[in-house]
Amino acid sequence: MPDTLPPPEPVKIGIVSISDRASGGVYEDKGLPALNDWLGRALHNPIAFEPRLIPDDQATISATLIELADAGCSLVLTTGGTGPALRDVTPEATLAVADKEMPGFGEQMRQISLRFVPTAILSRQVAVIRGQCLIINLPGQPKAIAETLEGLPDTPGIFAAVPYCIDLLKGPYLETRAAVCKAFRPKTAVRHVRPD
């Protein structure tokens, strides 16, 4: 008789698109749909999304991140506002609410993006922990979001490390679909393997 796996744990995830023009209705936001789609394909877990579309305003960004982390989001992904332009203040707003900085995420995202464009060195994405929430700044373009989360054939994407990070923060056990992104955990931290 086959073992019966427990159902995947539910997870609350904040997704935040940061853009003056999209939040002002000048053009359609593509960040939130891209994040929603990718996470829905990548995780077995039932997801309660907390979406926000906000302008490039440092105080608003910080307040939104605090709200989502304090409301029980285990993970918050932002998109937009990480370049050198005068209105790009997402990294500053993120660092302002941090208990800990996680520099490896930004370093790896830039490594992946550099495979495609030399201007990747202009990106300033950061990742931090606030309480029991992991907050990661992603690139602004849907294609770049998927590339940095999933990785490339010879370069791991950042999401492979996210489930174990959330384990260490005592959050829900995230189970990824290996066809999209295979989570990496030390053998002692693997509870079970769910077939895709």
User: Residue 66: its pLDDT value, please?
Assistant: 98
CATH class of the domain at 11-189? alpha beta
Its pTM surpasses 0.85: yes
* Residue pLDDT, tens place only, 84-98: 999 999 999 999 999
Can you list the residues of the chain whose pLDDT is less than 70? 1-3
Average pLDDT of the chain to the nearest whole number: 95
Contact between 20 and 55 (Cβ < 8 Å): yes
User: Residue 3: its pLDDT value, please?
Assistant: 64
Ordered strands of the 11-18 beta sheet: 47-54, 11-18, 75-79, 133-138, 127-130, 100-101
Report the distance separating Cα 86 and Cα 115, nearest Å: 26
Give me the percent of the chain exceeding a pLDDT of 70: 98
User: Residue 180: its pLDDT value, please?
Assistant: 95
User: Residue 43: its pLDDT value, please?
Assistant: 98
Q: b/e map of 116-131 (b: 16 or more CB within 10 Å)?
A: eeeebeebbbbbbbbe
Q: In whole angstroms, what separates CA 38 from the centre of its chain?
A: 10
Q: Where are the domains of the chain?
A: 11-189
User: Residue 186: its pLDDT value, please?
Assistant: 96
